[in-house]
Homo-oligomer: A and B are copies of this chain.
Amino acid sequence: MKFKLLIALLGFGILLAGCKEQHGNEGAGNVETSNAVSNEPIQPIQPAIVKNPKYVELGKKLYFDTRLSKSGFISCNSCHNLSMGGTDNLKTSIGHNWSKGPINSPTVLNSSLNLAQFWDGRAADLKEQAGGPIANPGEMAFTHELAVDMLKSIPGYVTEFNDAFGGREITINEVTLAIAAFEETLVTPNARFDQWLKGNKNALNKTELAGYQLFKSSGCISCHNGMNIGGNSYQKMGLVAPYKATSPAQGRSAVTGNDADRFNFKVPTLRNIELTYPYFHDGEAATLTKAVDTMGRLQLGRKFTTEENAQIVAFLKTLTGEQPSFKLPQLPPSSDATRRPQPFSD
């Protein structure tokens, strides 16, 4: 383990550089963030800089629009609820016809900082991700074609798309570009830990600081590092001892086809972790205490004492940043030509 930790620590520079490049290559590329100078392996989050406010405003409406689902009941915000840390706080999500999802919904907050999207990284960026749930029969159960037809039938949307995209035709490309642009604004700067990183040494108390030191010295930091404190690598769930997941998800191997990648998952961000319960890809850890205990045993081969666990939990609770702050959007009404939702047709 110690050797692995050393390699991981040496690799930070590469990982972070990789993360930054990834971000710069994103489809929507709507928001710039920059690393603050820091000697710590975690960097503070910078507020989002909006490059294209028209994309963002349109994407915000689409994010809340239940008409992107077959039922007319489920929106992006249903499972990535911006009142609740960008999650649904359920083990696994509820989809069309009360389908039980196979995996825990990760937070949308700071997701633009991840090296890829979904637990298995099967979408390169937020734009690619946004198209997935719309057409997934167990989630929004719609099709891209029907979603675009719906939007084209609504005069308020037609005007706004024209305005944002200079009159070019509405396709799923424009829809997901706008949603991704909005999602890129959902960063959460100014957590107490970030204040500490920036030099306010009173921002953390002794217990929290002890938790951070232990977080580093015990090796949590080897996977949870960088600006998003995770999200920048794939790691095996159950490194020292196997994890008995209740989710059928196979992880990264489903994308690479490589059996060696089985149970490799994208390391989740720890930002806003107090808000994004329950934890792990199967949502089986209801509390931070349980999650820290399990991670210690299965990933680090270490049983944290009650005091150590509490210190780490105290540190983790300093990672809650400023939540997105915006007015609830008003959606343009359907027209007579808009196809009506079909919640009970199958």
| Cβ contacts under 8 Å, A67 to chain B | 89
A78 within 8 A of B: yes
Tell me whether A98 and B100 are in contact in the complex, defined as CB-CB below 8 angstroms, given that A64-B83, A328-B328, A340-B278 are known contacts: no
Chain A interface bracket (under 10, 10 to 19, 20 to 34, 35 or more): 35 or more
For A81-105 the 0/1 string (1 means CB < 8 A from B) is 1111100111100100110100000
- Which of A34-42, A43-51, A118-126, A329-337 is near enough to bind chain B? A329-337
| Cβ contacts under 8 Å, A341 to chain B | 89-90
| Cβ contacts under 8 Å, A287 to chain B | 336
| Cβ contacts under 8 Å, A137 to chain B | none
Q: Is the CB of A83 within 8 A of B330?
A: yes
A289 within 8 A of B: yes
- Which of A15-23, A207-215, A319-327 is near enough to bind chain B? A319-327
A265 within 8 A of B: no
Q: Is the CB of B327 within 8 A of A326?
A: yes
Residue picked from A73, A328, A329, most chain B C-beta under 10 Å? A328
23 residue pairs bridging A and B, Cβ less than 8 Å apart: A66-B81, A66-B88, A66-B89, A72-B90, A73-B78, A73-B88, A73-B90, A83-B328, A83-B331, A84-B331, A84-B333, A85-B333, A89-B334, A91-B340, A94-B343, A100-B343, A277-B334, A278-B340, A287-B336, A324-B328, A326-B327, A327-B327, A328-B328
Q: Which residue of B lies closest to A313 (CB)?
A: B336
| Cβ contacts under 8 Å, A73 to chain B | 78, 88, 90, 94
Q: Which residue of B lies closest to A275 (CB)?
A: B333
A313 CB → nearest B CB, Å: 10
Docked complex Cα distance between A210 and B67 (Å): 34
A49-89 residues with Cβ-Cβ distance < 8 A to B are: 64-67, 71-73, 78, 81-85, 88-89
Q: Is the CB of A289 within 8 A of B333?
A: no
A286 within 8 A of B: yes
| Cβ contacts under 8 Å, A89 to chain B | 66-67, 72, 334, 341
| Cβ contacts under 8 Å, A277 to chain B | 333-334
A344 within 8 A of B: yes
Selected from B91, B98, B275, B334, the residue in CB contact (under 8 A) with A98 is B98
A103 CB → nearest B CB, Å: 14
| 4 residue pairs, one from A and one from B, having the closest CB atoms | A98-B98, A287-B336, A323-B330, A83-B331
Q: Is the CB of A82 within 8 A of B328?
A: yes
Q: Is the CB of B329 within 8 A of A83?
A: yes
| Cβ contacts under 8 Å, A278 to chain B | 340
A26 within 8 A of B: no
